[in-house]
Amino acid sequence: MIVTSEFELSRVAAPNLPLSPKNYNSDYHEQLNNVLRLYFNQLDKILAQLRTDGAIDPSNINVPNGLFFNTADQTLAAVDTGYPITFNQTYLNNFVALQTASTSKIEVAVAGVYNFQLSAQLKSTNASAKDVQIWIKRGTTTIGYSGHRYTVEGSDNHMNVNWIFDIDLAANEYIEMYWGADDTAVTMEAIPASAPYPAVASAVMAVNFIARLPDPRPTPP
């Protein structure tokens, strides 16, 4: 599914053709030609929007996407406890947005398969080794086998987490990323800008629509 800027793909439908008379009638043929002409003009317009060879401006193609990040540190209050990864800034939110009054629930308005790209910066605040786990929740359901484990150690040492995955979402469904560790001496650290370096976000999430929703939908492990 591709969504255009004015939803033309959703509006195009086969026309209702007029019933033909038993005998030849020029008015009927003119009416039929007009109906078909309008329909094929609609199809031509859609095909022109979908062309990406440079001859036609493809900017009318509008695919759901979002980009969210957090400019603040994220900490763990207790060991072996799940906490949502949060975002306090939105850069892109085209049919993909943080749910109202939430800083962690990323909700889609259009059903489909979405690609999520998470980047997070872990910081160890003491010398001991710490096992950090990150996993996916769709709505209130934890997705089986979605956990990733990272080990970070050393005082003031950093580890960058990069995780790319695809997941199916119905319209108005959301996902959250959760994290936890066996030691609270680890943070997702945000670093302010210091010339010539830009600021570093504690977590960044990019979201892109990639395919229609499967039918039937797969069952999570």
pLDDT, greater one: 43 or 176 = 176
Q: How far apart are CA 98 and CA 90, in angstroms?
A: 8
Q: Give the mean pLDDT of the chain.
A: 89
At 146-162, the pLDDT tens digits run 999 999 999 999 999 99
Question: For 42-90, what is each residue's pLDDT tens digit?
Answer: 888 777 666 655 555 556 667 899 999 999 999 999 999 999 999 999 9
Question: CA-CA distances (angstroms) from residue 203 to 9, 114, 144?
Answer: 35, 19, 23
Task: Say if residues 179 and 132 touch (Cβ distance below 8 Å).
Answer: yes
The pTM of this model reads: 0.79
In whole angstroms, what is the distance from residue 51 CA to residue 57 CA? 8
Q: Per-residue pLDDT averaged across 109-115, rounded?
A: 96
Predicted pLDDT at 8:
58
Bridge partners (DSSP) of residue 86 are: none
Which of 56, 39, 109, 86 is CA-nearest to residue 205? Answer: 86
pLDDT at 190: 98
Query: Whose structure tokens read 């797969």?
Result: 218
User: What pLDDT is attached to residue 49?
Assistant: 63
- Please write the tens of the pLDDT for every residue from 19-39: 888 888 888 888 888 888 888
Structural domains of the chain sorted by starting position, each given as residue range(s) with its CATH number in brackets? 8-59 (no CATH), 65-211 (2.60.120.40)
Mean pLDDT, rounded, for 211-220 = 92
Nearest Cα residue to 135 out of 178, 78, 82, 175: 178
